[in-house]
Structure 1
Amino acid sequence: MRLKDCHNFQDFRRLSQRRLPGPIFNYIDGGADDETTYRHNTRAFDQCDLLPSVLTGVSDVDMSVTVMGQKLAMPFYCSPTALQRLFHHEGERAVAAAAEKYGTMFGVSSLGTVSLEELRKKHKTPQVYQFYFHKDRGLNSAMMQRAKEAGVDVMMLTVDSITGGNRERDLRTGFSIPFRLTLAGMIQFAIKPMWGINYVTHERFRLPQLEEHVDMSGGASSIGGYFSEMLDPSMNWDDVAAMVRDWDGQFCLKGIMTVEDARRAAEIGCTGIVLSNHGGRQLDGSRAPFDQLAEIVDAVGDRIDVMMDSGIQRGTHVLKALSLGAKAVGVGRHYLYPLAAAGQAGVERALHLMRAEIERDMKLMGVTRIDQLNRDNLRFRNESREQQPIGRPAA
């Protein structure tokens, strides 16, 4: 199987599985506990049907959106994810270059493997910084100031990761930071030698966002200490409100799942929220973001930009989320599998295919602009609203 043979999410997944050692593939691929939420994130879209209109004249399609003050050529963006150079030696460089080529936003994690400054200098496309909250408030301020000086467009605070999810695939293979590989895990690395060759023949693995603040002399083991010793599980709304004031710009919270939390985010001055359960990697049994989207848009959509991620695999998934009122949709595994499989060429192919799906599906829906999508386009098939439209509640 080659890159040109990949036509959808599952194709990229299979190709990455062939090329990555098992422990690293399962780190990307796995979810928490029984992975119930991981599976449901995508299945949630299956309970929603699209209603196309015909004879509307759709020769020209504009799929651009404006979200968090950023103009995107496509209604989806590359969500920030950690440790990308573990998956392919190009890492964030490949994702940033592909995002710029296709005119969309990309994110850099606090645990990113390429510096904010390098990516900002090379690429003009909108850049998000995904931030973790530390016990040391001075450290939070210093890292935010660095991001501001680098020219980051959007601060994205992750709020659903005050402790790590129970990812049992990683426990079985011994994939951890630092590595504690089981025999089965070591065998997986041995039978995929090209990954190891690429890893040792390119620049050393590093976490440039943390090097000034964390003693990295212990190598990978330092990352484990970072999570156990430096992140603050006592983070609360007052802490976040102070960060919003200090940043004084586009600020969103990633991991919101309730109307009450969405309202609080709007009240403290956030300009956006991302409905997310971390791709099913944190609290197993939690609700899918798509299932929460309509009620949260109804509650705060006129005050704050509502986005969502988790489970997106198709252009129709994007259109369903936009029809419910999302301003844009984030993808993670959707670009990580092709990154692992083929670097920048893989990410570009994944973005190209998703863009083509969205354009084709918009034409089949009978719309030429994203703002023409609405809830009249949808019907749900679950028990409580069998074949019923999901319009806004009466005032």
Structure 2
Amino acid sequence: MVQRQVPNPREIFELMQFKRPSLDFTGNRLGKAQSIADLRKIAKRRTPAAAFDYTEGSADREISLTRARQAFEDVEFHPGVLTDVSYLDMSTEVLGEASALPFGIAPTGFTRLMQTEGEIAGAGAAAASGIPFSLSTLGTTSIEAVREAAPNGRLWFQLYVMRDRSISYGLVERAAQAGYDTLMFTVDTPIAGNRMRDKRNGFSIPPQLTAKTVLDAIPRPWWWIDFLTTPPLEFASLTSTGGTVGELLNSAMDPSINYEDLKEIRDMWPGKIVIKGVQTLADAKKLADLGVDGILLSNHGGRQLDAAPVPFHLLPEVVREVGDDVEVMVDTGIMHGADIVASLALGAKFTLVGRAYLYGLMAGGRRGVDRMIEILSSEVERTMKLLQVHSVEELEPRHVTQLRSLVPHQSLPAPTERGSSLR
């Protein structure tokens, strides 16, 4: 029989540990977020539907994004045992310079529409954490202002080649003068993808006050207060800001870009160049032979061609074929530190996060981005320690199995002939 006694009041009071109330509402809600999914829930509550859906959505039936996320869920890890992991090094070297963590912030467009601090928050948080920040051509803060916000930070610039080549070339020159060390030449956007959520929401730049947006704003007055009491949106490249996002992209992008544009831009850029949006092994081989410094396996977060290849699935084969010649990076679908670790184990030199960053930004501005980095960093650390590896360099394909449900019915045609060097 269990012996029972009258509760001792002193012991009861010792168990009653109440936290001191805090008026730091932003800190309170961010402190409760234990995952990127938690940040997403906060972001959805605090952001108007049109702006949130711009981040959340992808193209057409959103198959590409669904498959990309499923690919990371279909991972089996193979941990070692009896290894001392009291010390762990999560740093890595990418494109000739160190990064304190094996991930950086991807380029995102129209960022201040998500939350008014926009790219300033992202660049500042990245610099404080010792990781790269990428500014989009369609960013809402100028190249120079982002540099001022992160004077000692590592900055990359993402470039769209536009119909008016002088605009693109001018951006390249400005980024070089501002000390950006890497140019990310995006090649998967000859036209805008069919982003149906934006069309249904009537999402435009700048946002328009309609009956629908006013009703949506009622429970989120802070977003509109921030939007209406801060400087007007500025774009790094667009002189006209009217119309839906798709209309803006289609008016700015040029479907005629080709390898000659790559050569011309490579000749004028003094730093490293990464080709963003590579989706086949054949293109990876050709670009490696053309002398680029890196390739980013990406389907644009599922926002361009729907049912495009899953970058994480492409990774092992591309690394095996060209990993000795070019630095291979990956994005799309990364929502957990384990996704980053799995990518590194299969040979990725580096990873980039976009939506995770924007969820943090919408949840709490700069502090929300800091929290996003903190969450992913802790997940990377925990996953590596449970795998029982000491460093990024120790991660190998033996640590991961990709469980594949999507198997091609027939093999793809042989890759095209590899090209010649630009240099």
TM-score between the two structures when normalised by the length of structure 2: 0.85
Q: What residue number does 1:41 align with?
A: 68
Give secondary structure in 2 for the equivalent of 1:166: coil
Amino acid at match of 1:108: L
Are 1:61 and 2:83 an aligned pair?
no
Select 1:91's aligned residue among 118, 121, 139. 118
Tell whether the 8 Å contact from 2:278 to 2:297 is kept in structure 1 after alignment.
yes
Unaligned runs of 5+ in 2: 1-27, 408-423
Amino acid at match of 1:6: A
Are 1:15 and 2:42 an aligned pair?
yes
Tell whether the 8 Å contact from 2:297 to 2:311 is kept in structure 1 after alignment.
yes
Select 1:375's aligned residue among 394, 397, 419. 397
Select 1:105's aligned residue among 109, 132, 150. 132
Q: What residue number does 1:392 align with?
A: none
CA distance in 2, matches of 1:119, 1:152: 10
CA distance in 2, matches of 1:308, 1:381: 18
Q: What residue number does 1:391 align with?
A: none
Identity of aligned residues (%): 38
What's the offset of the Cα at 1:183? 4.8
Q: Cα gap change, 1:324/1:181 in structure 2, threshold over 3 Å: closer, same or farther?
A: farther
Tell whether the 8 Å contact from 1:241 to 1:269 is kept in structure 2 after alignment.
no
Deviates more, 1:119-128 or 1:337-346: 119-128
Tell whether the 8 Å contact from 1:23 to 1:188 is kept in structure 2 after alignment.
no
Are 1:338 and 2:365 an aligned pair?
no
C-alpha distance after superposition, 1:122-153 (max 9, x if no partner): 42121010111022333332221111111111
Q: Cα gap change, 1:76/1:166 in structure 2, threshold over 3 Å: closer, same or farther?
A: same
What does 1:184-333 correspond to in 2, within 5 Å? 184-207=212-235, 209-210=236-237, 214-216=238-240, 219-221=241-243, 227-333=249-355
CA distance in 2, matches of 1:14, 1:230: 33
C-alpha distance after superposition, 1:243-280 (max 9, x if no partner): 11221320011100111111121122210111111111
CA distance in 1, matches of 2:403, 2:359: 31
Alignment: residue pair count: 379
Tell whether the 8 Å contact from 1:174 to 1:182 is kept in structure 2 after alignment.
no
Unaligned runs of 5+ in 1: 386-395
Are 1:126 and 2:148 an aligned pair?
no
Amino acid at match of 1:269: G
CA distance in 1, matches of 2:400, 2:286: 29
Tell whether the 8 Å contact from 2:293 to 2:327 is kept in structure 1 after alignment.
yes
CA distance in 1, matches of 2:405, 2:112: 44
Q: Cα gap change, 1:215/1:349 in structure 2, threshold over 3 Å: closer, same or farther?
A: closer
CA distance in 2, matches of 1:382, 1:140: 40
What's the offset of the Cα at 1:27? 0.8
Deviates more, 1:187-196 or 1:342-351: 187-196
Tell whether the 8 Å contact from 2:195 to 2:246 is kept in structure 1 after alignment.
no
Amino acid at match of 2:374: H
Select 2:196's aligned residue among 168, 183, 187. 168
What's the offset of the Cα at 1:179? 4.7
Amino acid at match of 1:295: E
CA distance in 2, matches of 1:47, 1:221: 40
Amino acid at match of 1:174: G
Where do 4+ consecutive residues of structure 1 move more than 6 Å? 222-225
CA distance in 1, matches of 2:210, 2:317: 45
CA distance in 1, matches of 2:205, 2:35: 31
What's the offset of the Cα at 1:168? 1.3
CA distance in 2, matches of 1:252, 1:381: 29
Q: Cα gap change, 1:245/1:362 in structure 2, threshold over 3 Å: closer, same or farther?
A: same
Give secondary structure in 2 for the equivalent of 1:2: helix
Give secondary structure in 1 for the equivalent of 2:101: coil
Select 1:361's aligned residue among 383, 388, 400. 383
Q: Cα gap change, 1:223/1:148 in structure 2, threshold over 3 Å: closer, same or farther?
A: farther
Deviates more, 1:330-339 or 1:240-249: 240-249
Give secondary structure in 1 for the equivalent of 2:203: coil
CA distance in 2, matches of 1:381, 1:227: 36
Give secondary structure in 2 for the equivalent of 1:80: coil
CA distance in 2, matches of 1:154, 1:374: 27
Tell whether the 8 Å contact from 1:68 to 1:250 is kept in structure 2 after alignment.
yes
C-alpha distance after superposition, 1:74-112 (max 9, x if no partner): 000000111111111111111111111111000111111
Tell whether the 8 Å contact from 2:203 to 2:245 is kept in structure 1 after alignment.
no
CA distance in 1, matches of 2:295, 2:210: 39
Give secondary structure in 1 for the equivalent of 2:321: helix
CA distance in 2, matches of 1:325, 1:264: 19
What's the offset of the Cα at 1:189? 2.8
Q: What residue number does 1:30 align with?
A: 57
Tell whether the 8 Å contact from 1:244 to 1:268 is kept in structure 2 after alignment.
no
Which has the higher Rg, Structure 1 or Structure 2? Answer: 2
Q: What residue number does 2:176 align with?
A: 148
